[in-house]
Every structure is written in structure tokens, then in C-alpha cells.
């Protein structure tokens, strides 16, 4: 059975979605850079071991990344999932994890890389927004895209309302991608990702909908 390590920094709702998904895999550790992360309590309640590597104890990003990598590798994971992990990782961590490190990002990449994605989507007036699961490369939010889920942006949306609509999709998308990964359905072919036997939707989202 494949082994998964999840990295979080806060609330942990995406991590919780993974814990509830009954994946055919073992979630062997949830690791956080923040000792007070709410998600750690959720992981413990699910009986999953937790660990903390506090970035503030390290003088440089590289030193933190080397320590984090050692702790992650101690679990011999087949897959490392960044589920709301709010630190930028350097090549020290990313390079050795190539092809087995994925992230969930709350926008339809490559639009709205970085933070405050929902606010920026509203400011730009986009009609469709969403979330992306992608392989992590040293370039922030630019790794090969595995899957995306889209939602409409509605006229009365606030940042909080739009964030909640996207988050609902994150909780569907991330477990789906992790399931495909552990079932060997995700293949990195050059800069692009193939998803094996995964059935593709034959509908499309148009917002606002045509008459
Ligand atoms: C999610 O929106 C995720 O896409 C982003 O950070 C947020 C984490 O939320 N990377 P949670 O901790 O999973 O609830």
C-alpha cells in the first residue's frame, strides 16, 4: 500500500477531506510548520501521527527545507501532499521530491498564482474561478497541472462566499487526484500530465450560462 505524508500550516480542511476519503493508501504522517495548526488536532482525532518542524527555528529557508525533507523522508512516502502548506519551498526540498510532491492551489492556474486568489479573481471580474492540483516544481505555482475544478463567479459574491464555493470543490478534487495517483493513473509526460483511464467529463461550464 502506498504511503502518503501530508503537509499543512493551518485549518486542515483539505487534509481532513483526504482522511475521510477512505483512500487505498496509508496516510502515515501529518506534518506542520506551525505547532498550533488546527489541522493537527483533526489528524490526531483520526489517529494519524503528527509532527512539527517550526520554520522559525532555522536561520535560512534551505536549512528549514533540509530538516523538513529529512523528517518527511523518514516516513518513506510515495506521495507528499501540500494541503494548505504556507511556506515557499526551495529546490533543497522540491528537487528530491520530483514527481511525488503535489499541491492544491485555490485558483485556475496559471491565473492568480500566489496569495489572495479569491480577492484578485473578484477584482479582475473573471466569470469562472476554481482550484488546481499540480505537481510542485521550484517555480511557485507553476508545476505541471494534474486536474482543475471550476466554479462560476456570481454577481453578488464576496471574497468569503467565493472562497467557500471553491473550497467545496477543493475537497472533491484533492482526494480524487490522490486516488488516481495511488492507483498509478497519474503520469508526468514532459511538462504535461496524463490521467490514465480517468473518465473525462463531456460537459462544460459557461458562466453566465447561455440561453
Ligand atoms: C486552501 O484553499 C488551499 O487551496 C490553499 O490553502 C487553503 C488551505 O485550507 N493552498 P485548509 O487548511 O486545507 O482548510
- Assess if residue 152 is contained within a domain: yes
Mean pLDDT of the chain: 96
- Assess if residue 211 is contained within a domain: no
The count of domains in the chain is 1
Q: Residue 109 belongs to what domain range? A: 2-195
Ligand 1: residue of 6, 9, 12, 13 to mutate (most ligand atoms within 8 A of CB) is: 13
Query: Across residues 105-131, what is the average pLDDT?
Result: 98
Query: Across residues 172-177, what is the average pLDDT?
Result: 97
Residue 120 has what pLDDT? 98
Is the pLDDT at 211 greater than 90? The verdict is no
User: Residue with the nearest Cα to atom 9 of ligand 1?
Assistant: 84
Centre of ligand 1 to C-alpha 210, Å, is: 32
Residues present in the chain in total? 211
Residue 103 has what pLDDT? 98
Query: Across residues 88-112, what is the average pLDDT?
Result: 97
Is the pLDDT at 202 greater than 90? The verdict is no
Ligand 1 and 129: CB distance under 6 A: no
- Assess if residue 12 is contained within a domain: yes
- Assess if residue 84 is contained within a domain: yes
Ligand 1: residue of 8, 170, 171 to mutate (most ligand atoms within 8 A of CB) is: 170
Query: Across residues 175-184, what is the average pLDDT?
Result: 97
Sign of the torsion angle spanned by Cα atoms 39, 130, 115, 163: negative
Query: Across residues 13-20, what is the average pLDDT?
Result: 98
- Assess if residue 98 is contained within a domain: yes
- Assess if residue 168 is contained within a domain: yes
- Assess if residue 146 is contained within a domain: yes
The long-range contacts involving 86-91, CB below 8 angstroms and separated by at least 24 positions, are 86/9, 86/10, 86/33, 87/9, 87/33, 87/55, 87/61, 88/61, 88/140, 89/65, 89/136, 89/138, 90/61, 90/62, 90/65, 90/138, 91/138
- CA nearest to 209, candidates 124, 165, 126, 152: 152
Could you give the residue numbers annotated as active site? 105
The half-sphere exposure of 52 on its side-chain side, counting CA atoms within 13 A, is: 15
Is the pLDDT at 203 greater than 90? The verdict is no
- Assess if residue 161 is contained within a domain: yes
Residue 196 has what pLDDT? 83
How many angstroms separate the first and last alpha carbons of the chain? 49
CATH number for the domain spanning 162: value is 3.40.50.170
Is the pLDDT at 201 greater than 90? The verdict is no
Query: Across residues 42-64, what is the average pLDDT?
Result: 98
Amino acid at each position: 500500500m502506498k504511503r502518503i505524508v501530508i503537509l499543512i500550516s493551518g485549518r486542515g480542511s483539505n487534509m481532513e477531506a483526504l482522511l475521510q476519503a477512505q483512500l487505498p493508501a496509508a496516510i502515515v504522517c501529518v506534518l506542520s510548520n506551525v505547532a498550533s495548526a488546527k489541522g493537527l488536532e483533526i489528524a490526531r482525532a483520526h489517529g494519524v501521527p503528527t509532527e512539527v518542524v517550526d520554520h522559525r527555528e532555522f536561520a535560512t529557508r534551505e536549512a528549514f527545507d533540509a530538516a523538513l525533507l529529512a523528517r518527511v523522508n523518514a516516513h518513506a512516502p510515495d506521495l507528499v501532499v501540500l494541503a494548505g502548506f504556507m511556506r515557499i519551498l526551495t529546490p533543497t526540498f522540491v528537487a528530491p521530491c520530483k514527481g511525488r510532491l503535489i499541491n492544491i492551489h485555490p485558483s485556475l492556474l496559471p491565473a492568480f498564482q500566489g496569495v489572495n486568489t479569491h480577492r484578485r479573481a473578484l477584482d479582475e471580474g473573471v466569470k469562472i474561478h476554481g482550484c488546481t492540483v499540480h505537481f510542485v516544481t521550484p517555480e511557485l505555482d507553476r508545476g505541471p497541472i494534474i486536474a482543475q475544478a471550476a466554479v462560476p463567479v456570481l454577481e453578488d459574491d464576496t471574497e468569503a462566499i467565493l472562497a467557500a464555493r471553491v473550497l467545496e470543490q477543493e475537497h472533491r478534487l484533492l482526494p480524487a487526484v490522490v486516488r488516481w495517483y495511488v492507483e498509478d493513473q497519474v503520469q508526468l509526460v514532459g511538462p504535461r500530465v496524463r490521467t490514465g483511464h480517468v473518465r473525462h467529463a463531456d460537459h462544460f461550464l459557461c458562466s453566465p450560462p447561455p440561453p
